[in-house]
Amino acid sequence: MSSGFTLVELVMVIILIGVLSALGVGLFASRSVFSPLLATQQLASATLLAQQAALAGNPSNSLTIAQSAEHFRFTVGARTFELPRAGTSLSVASGLPLTVTFGADGSPGTGTNIEFTFTGDSTFESCLSSLGAVYRGSCQP
């Protein structure tokens, strides 16, 4: 007598794998869920690039943050980084567009904390502290 799986068992396993795959793809296909996190990370990267330019004495020591109907735009010197908004919005207390210039010590010229809030399917807050540190979460007084 030989042992193994019957044709019916194999077909049921294939159907089950297909259903689970279809459900799994649906969970990861929507970029808008991840868009606020991605935009927060892009903001932190652009800020650090402008700070490094300021510390090196490079004239590209400012960061301009703007949003259009379709994109977030982070500009450091002549470099512009665009990220699709995908249903996400950015709010800053001072309004957009916002230009932050960094001093030779890497601190923002505003002298105060700047809080950024990305809102979409989820909400992410980032803070640019008065000392130049970028961290996730709301600004501490």
pTM: 0.72
Contact 138, 129 (CB under 8 A): no
With b for 16 or more beta-carbon neighbours within 10 A and e for fewer, the 40-79 pattern comes to: bebbbebbebbbebbeeeeebbbbbbbbeeeebbbbbeee
Look up residue 105 and give its two tokens.
């010590």
Q: What pLDDT, on a 0 to 100 scale, did the predictor assign at position 43?
A: 85
pLDDT over 90 (residue 29): no
CATH 1.10.3720.10 corresponds to the domain 36-136: no
Reported as a pLDDT band with limits 50, 70 and 90, residue 77 is confident
- Sketch the domain layout of the chain as residue ranges: 36-136
Instruction: Encode pLDDT of 110-132 as tens digits.
Output: 889 999 998 887 888 999 999 88
